[in-house]
Chain A
């Protein structure tokens, strides 16, 4: 870790102003990703702007549109919210599958989506449910938010303030944890809406992505059997010591079936 200044922001405006003023400042949410990166000197910001003191960024609200979750709501708060679990259980399930208790007590939704780790869980649920990522400047659909490896549509000086998850008819998230990290080696979120079915995959590729042929098959028949005969190509999938690309491709199919079964359960 190198020396940096620390600033505890009082409001979104305050944080945004501060962020805009310094070319080299970074936002600090739970710090679960950022602090290890600082210790390993992978990031060397001049200043950390702590979002932890901003009340408007915290909490879960339900409306007709769906679930509005503030950017600094921790994983444990999301997992423990009873109304949310009744309305969209898949979000709670994904939140409680993240890391360990320490990580869930500190890590936040906004930090997770902004970071867009290729193996993170929230991006799959956000893309699977077709969420809207709300920033201090605009609203961005999940389809255009998650751009690539650790890359999002966020511009400079822009921060996530809230994520709006629409209410599905049913949804499921099946995660195959990486045995070492317990991030998703492969995670699949399946959600059925009146307007159609969405299938999002995390862990398998460079960034979360949708699986269109699975969506089509499930639109005709929302059952695990509908996916029989569909296979996933290993081309362009992640290949590492924990899982070869072929194994990941196979797991995408298995996890998709399990997600459908969970949705139907």
Chain B
């Protein structure tokens, strides 16, 4: 009955037809009557006092309606952009959360910091007028790197943050694990070998294909505000608008995130621009639209990563890991973004065990303010940073001990019979068969044939290297109570409503949001599978707080694990009610009714009634047990997971290096992932490909760079190097499955895996190729220039 489109089918994506034929409806495609346009005046300086703003000339220009500044914002009592996750320092004090006003409150702290907004009848008029707004800045000293910002005498960015320190965090905190620090130090002292590395995790720009856009429509007659915005989580935006910034009651605010062209985390947050258009629309009584230029995306979208880490791994004489110590400096940028403090801490520290049985782990993270664009979650969010350092230091240990990288990992893996496994950094891993995954990846790679391939490469004048990584990550955010204990200021359950129509057609209202993840397809497959209705008779509705119950959106690979589970629970309720209706229609006991393939059947007989007929009976209740049952067939479930889910996987990369030019080419890339149960293998493969592209981009090409003072150097694609299709190999992907016991689908999540596992695999391969030349270290991205210099330095013995 599912038309072959049930769970496990590689169903073609329902959404593709409209995307490929240009019928998608993105925020910028929506235009309202009398709509006006916002253009932001942004700071050209990384750090300055705003002495005055003179809008006189701008206001006289044709088509200009208003020029608004931070003072107007304050007068209207619009709140500061909120921080949604609080972090506590070692000494028990809360992280410094300086206000983040949507328009500067007298000081600008990064290039691109909004200072004023012009509202005008056309975009061009708004832009012309913005150039005529005369802002008098008094420049201050500034700093872009976190290490420099921590030095004595560095420019102070926020008064409340002495030494530019936002927080000094430890994991596990002494209150939870009093001996973690001492035990780790002891193990390091007593170790047979200690391997240490200093690693940079390079800052990245998310670069979603669709730039951010917001269109706010306040109706003065009803007091109703509708916001169309490029969001991954419209309910979160509404919550923050209503509670923190605009402070309106929820029933007066509707947030719609229509088709959204990619997010990668960057569209989670409540941004200044979206708040300002809402406020301006409310003030002026006209719809106000803002659409980012690509250059604004480079300045204004929260950026990712930017860690500086020292890691030490202790091993005993048999190469068993006995301790891991991590010290990280995380660059938060100029303000704390929505999840900016959580990403380098609670999304990072708890993953530091990796897939290994390291008994002692202790980490500290210093979050530091700098005069740069704020950082926040970007595909993987904390887990890529954790995975990178673990898998780099493990490989380095193998190299120093002369061991095979596969062997050192095997020796330290958590074993299948040890699940659920309590890691020393606070996670309860659900399931995994790491050796099985490793063997699968090695088999696909043809591990044993590497030496021969290396010789062939050498014959062509290329150095060949092979690198491996084994990631594990926490998906399915999140068990709300655990998250709350860690500082989350919101719940992290998910919701689904299943509305069965009288004909048996089904609509699902989900709180998750698809901006590339194919929910319209995979969620429909679940419904089709569970209810036995035709795939084409299922519609997935998302992205509109006016239509969907309160859900938390899409990030952290949570949609299927949490949102899909809410859907399954709601479907179960539908089936339960249907069973009672069917029992009545078939004059049998509900306990005797079986449901399969879309038929309710009296067990052991051929007496049955189709799902569609049950639906009809529910809405035309002439023959219906009205004394016991309400009419209608619509059910809602909230699902708050018991635990995170833990996808894992083994990646193997082979590269060739042209030592004359420093060019690294990827010759082979194998990804063997354990995502638990899979709904649509084609969609999963697509997610893996995208993640790998971003991970390889981070390893070889992408780097968001600033001058030491904080001028953005990579402000366009002329300088920010995005991977293109022909930079990537043809990926070999495979999956193994150990279902998670923590949700009814047994699904773990796959959205970020590639971006987490790829960087260390690539870098380990590059180093493997270059070690014969004496190269010991290279930071991401391994650009031709960087590789050539590393070779030169090794040759000259530096």
Contacts and interface: CB of A to CB of B under 8 A. Distances in A.
A235 interface: no
B785 A176 contact: no
A179 B721 contact: yes
B681 to A, nearest CB: 32
B419 interface: no
Contacts of B784: 176, 179, 243, 247
B661 A251 contact: yes
B720 A180 contact: yes
Nearest to B701: A179
A176 B713 contact: no
A244 B719 CA distance: 14
Given A1-B124, A254-B660, A244 B720 contact: no
Interface of B: 124, 128, 295, 660-662, 701, 703, 705, 713-714, 717-722, 783-785, 788-789
A176 B785 CA distance: 12
A244 B783 contact: no
Contact of B785 (A3, A247, A254): A247
A85 interface: no
17 contacts: A3-B124, A176-B661, A176-B784, A179-B721, A179-B783, A180-B701, A180-B719, A180-B721, A180-B722, A241-B713, A241-B714, A242-B783, A242-B785, A243-B784, A243-B785, A247-B784, A254-B660
Main secondary structure of the interface of B (DSSP, over half): loop
A247 B124 contact: no
A244 B661 contact: no
Interface in A142-183: 176, 179-181
A8 interface: no
A254 to B, nearest CB: 5
Contact of A180 (B124, B661, B717): B717
A244 B662 CA distance: 13
Contacts of A241: 703, 705, 713-714, 719
Contact of A250 (B128, B703, B788): B788
Contacts of B714: 241
Contacts of B785: 242-244, 247
Nearest to A1: B124
Contacts of A244: 785, 789
A254 B661 contact: yes
Contact of B718 (A176, A180, A254): A180
A59 to B, nearest CB: 31
A46 to B, nearest CB: 16
Given A180-B721, A243-B785, A254-B661, 11 more contacts: A2-B128, A3-B124, A180-B718, A180-B719, A181-B718, A241-B719, A242-B719, A243-B784, A247-B785, A251-B661, A254-B660
B123 to A, nearest CB: 10
Which 5 A-B pairs rank lowest in CB-CB distance, beginning with the nearest?
A180-B721, A243-B785, A179-B721, A247-B785, A181-B718
A142 to B, nearest CB: 26
> Which of A40, A180, A181, A250 has its CB near the most chain B CB atoms (within 10 A)?
A180
Contacts of B722: 180
Contacts of A254: 660-661
Contacts of B788: 247, 250
A117 B568 CA distance: 59
A84 to B, nearest CB: 25
A240 B721 CA distance: 14
Contacts of A176: 661, 784
A176 B788 CA distance: 14
A3 B661 CA distance: 45
Contacts of B703: 241
A254 B785 CA distance: 14
A227 to B, nearest CB: 13
Interface string A225-261: 0000000000000000111100100110010000000
A244 B792 CA distance: 13
Contacts of A242: 719, 721, 783, 785
Contacts of B128: 2
Contacts of A40: 295
Interface in A37-94: 40
A176 B661 CA distance: 9
Nearest to B723: A179
B291 to A, nearest CB: 14
A103 B295 CA distance: 20
A151 to B, nearest CB: 20
A247 B701 contact: no
Interface in A1-21: 1-3
A241 B703 CA distance: 10
Contacts of A1: 124
A247 B713 contact: no
A250 B795 CA distance: 15
B453 to A, nearest CB: 24
A260 to B, nearest CB: 14
Nearest to B721: A180
A232 to B, nearest CB: 14
Contacts of A179: 701, 721, 783-784
A180 B701 CA distance: 8
Contacts of A2: 124, 128
Nearest to A186: B661
B170 to A, nearest CB: 35
A141 B472 CA distance: 63
B728 to A, nearest CB: 13
A40 B295 CA distance: 9
Contacts of A181: 717-718
Contacts of B661: 176, 251, 254
Contacts of A180: 701, 717-722
A247 B717 CA distance: 22
A254 B663 CA distance: 13
Nearest to B783: A179
B49 to A, nearest CB: 27
A243 B128 CA distance: 36
B710 to A, nearest CB: 15
A3 B720 CA distance: 30
Contacts of B295: 40
